[in-house]
Amino acid sequence: MKKSVKYFLSRCSQLVLVCPFFMQFDQQPVDNFSILNNLASTMVHRIVDRLSPDSSASLLIRSQGLQQAGNWWIKNWFVKDLQQRGISRVYLNQQILDKKYIIDVQILYLGVEYLPTGTKNLIKRQCKLKLNVLATEGSTGLIKIFDEVNEQYADSVSIYDVTRLENKNFSFTQASLPETQGFKKYIEPLLVMITTVGVVYLFFRLRSN
């Protein structure tokens, strides 16, 4: 009886270890927009931590550069993080006046890139976010933060999932697929071989004449 119970418990423990593997294996990849949101949330939280504003502080957030779609998106993440800290006096593109801190943000890179992996129908996905951040005191102009920060995420996905992973409303979640290398991989050596054989044939044909 004891042997049967011990065997049953050992089998159950093996099943517990194996089940998470199958659950993870069957899990669908996260969409590009969600990944970029996570990158932005992590990055903005780290920047605000460095600034350490108290709940009574007033902040002006300004975007620099021409990333129209991304500018509003990244500013919204700053607003969200500050409000979660209990800071309600947050302004966008207003006059400086009595603002305690001014945060200027420039998007250097925001987007997704697909790269070949060498495996059929499988591509490498890279999601990247890179910012220039300048935070100053509104009254004195004293620089509190002047830095280039970046976050990225990489994994492998099926080319058949790309349409589902991208968001049509946000261009920075979309990218071109890498060129198919399968056909090119075999046709180029074949052309070189045919050309070489032709040159050798013509060489000996001319010599025989």
For residue 134, being part of any structural domain is answered with yes
For residue 189, being part of any structural domain is answered with yes
Here the tokens at position 171 are: 């261009």
State the average pLDDT over residues 100-114: 95
d(CA 116, CA 127): 15
Give the number of residues written for the chain: 209
d(CA 199, CA 13): 68
Find where tokens 């939280």 sit. Answer: 45
User: How is the beta sheet containing 59-64 ordered, strand by strand?
Assistant: 90-92, 59-64, 101-116, 122-137, 143-158
For residue 88, being part of any structural domain is answered with yes
Asked if pLDDT for residue 3 goes beyond 90, the answer is: no
Higher pLDDT, 137 or 203: 137
| Predicted local confidence at residue 28, as pLDDT | 87
| Predicted local confidence at residue 42, as pLDDT | 97
* pLDDT tens digit sequence for 160-184: 999 999 999 999 999 999 986 444 4
For residue 8, being part of any structural domain is answered with no
For residue 27, being part of any structural domain is answered with yes
Question: At 14, is the pLDDT very low, low, confident or very high (cuts 50, 70, 90)?
Answer: very low
For residue 206, being part of any structural domain is answered with no
| Predicted local confidence at residue 23, as pLDDT | 41
For residue 3, being part of any structural domain is answered with no
- Domain around 49: 19-201
Residue 173 maps to which CATH number? 3.30.160
| Predicted local confidence at residue 93, as pLDDT | 73
State the average pLDDT over residues 68-95: 91
Asked if pLDDT for residue 17 goes beyond 50, the answer is: no
What total of structural domains would you count in the chain? 1
Contact between 122 and 158 (Cβ < 8 Å): yes
Asked if pLDDT for residue 10 goes beyond 70, the answer is: no
Asked if pLDDT for residue 199 goes beyond 90, the answer is: no
